[in-house]
Structure formats: structure tokens, C-alpha cells
Amino acid sequence: MFGEKINFSANMIFLVLVIWNLGLTAFFWVSWRHYRRLVKGVGRENLQKLMDKILKQLKEREVAGKEAKELLEVLEKKGEQGYQQMGLVRFNPFAEMGGNQSFSFALLDGDDSGFLITSLHGRSLTRLYIKRVKQGKAVDGKLSKEEELAVKQAIGRKTK
């Protein structure tokens, strides 16, 4: 009876060691295959040169990536300075005239600043007015309701 327990324990230990050995062998074989694929066609002297070349390329790409990121930031800032929002309102300022031949046109940048053009069309003449806009507010006097609506439309079309 005592001999059967020792024999069973020895068999279990042997089985665990065999399974462990098979696992390590499989891991080693997969790792070795991967290594052989990595260094295929490269001699011992060339391996160091290859690793140095790869490291150099990584550093160059890192520098290029930083430069591209800085350029992108500059372009984003410049893009906000350009006119990118617009609003147009057509209206009829005179009761005796037919049709909406007058208009207010707002053109704004990323900071909601820019200008506003208003055209008042009458029977005998057409007048053009231009007003500066800073952060959605008029700089040169007060805005009419149509001009305010054009500025609100432009601000409402902001894309981010």
C-alpha cells in the first residue's frame, strides 16, 4: 500500500515534468522560428549593422514625426485666421419694392471676427455698407436685425 502511494506520486511528478518539458519545447521552437525569420539572410557581422540601421531610421522617423506635428499645429492656427464662416440674409428694406433684392453677408474667421457687407437696393440706386465684426460683435456702430442674423448664421456654421 505504501509502495503504491510512492509509485503514484512519482508517476504524477513525472507526468507534470513531461508536460512542462513539452510546453517549454514548444515555446522555444516558436521563438527560434521567429528569430530565424528575423535574421534570415543576415550574417553575424551584418546583424549589428542592421540593428544600428533600424535604430537610426527610428530616430529619423521620430524627428520627422515631431516636425510634422509642429507644422500641423502652425497650419491649424493659420487656418483659424482665414475666413471660414459665412452667413447670408436676403431681405426687402422698402415696402414699395418687390422681392428680396437687398442682402447682408457676413464673412468670419475662427475667432468670429471679420466683416459684414450690406447692400440696400432701391428703385433709383443701390448702396453698399461694410462693417467690421470682432468676436461676433460690431466694431463700427450697431448692427441691424438682418446684419445680426447674418452674423448668427455665420457663427452657427462654425466647423470644428
Backbone angles phi, psi at 84, to 5 degrees: -140, -5
pTM: 0.54
State the residue for C-alpha cell 521620430.
62
Q: Which of 146, 149, 158, 112 is nearest to 132 (CA)?
A: 112
Instruction: Sketch the domain layout of the chain as residue ranges.
Output: 1-38, 43-81, 85-156
Residue 78, pLDDT score? 81
Q: Which helix (H) or strand (E) holds 127?
A: strand 126-134
CB contact at 8 A, 128 and 115? no
Residue 40, pLDDT score? 77
Q: Side chain identity at 77, as an amino acid letter?
A: K
Per-position pLDDT tens, the chain of length 160: 455 666 778 888 999 999 999 999 999 999 999 988 877 777 666 777 878 888 999 999 999 999 999 999 998 888 777 888 899 999 887 766 667 788 999 999 888 899 999 998 877 888 899 999 998 888 888 898 999 999 999 988 765 4
Residue 160, pLDDT score? 46
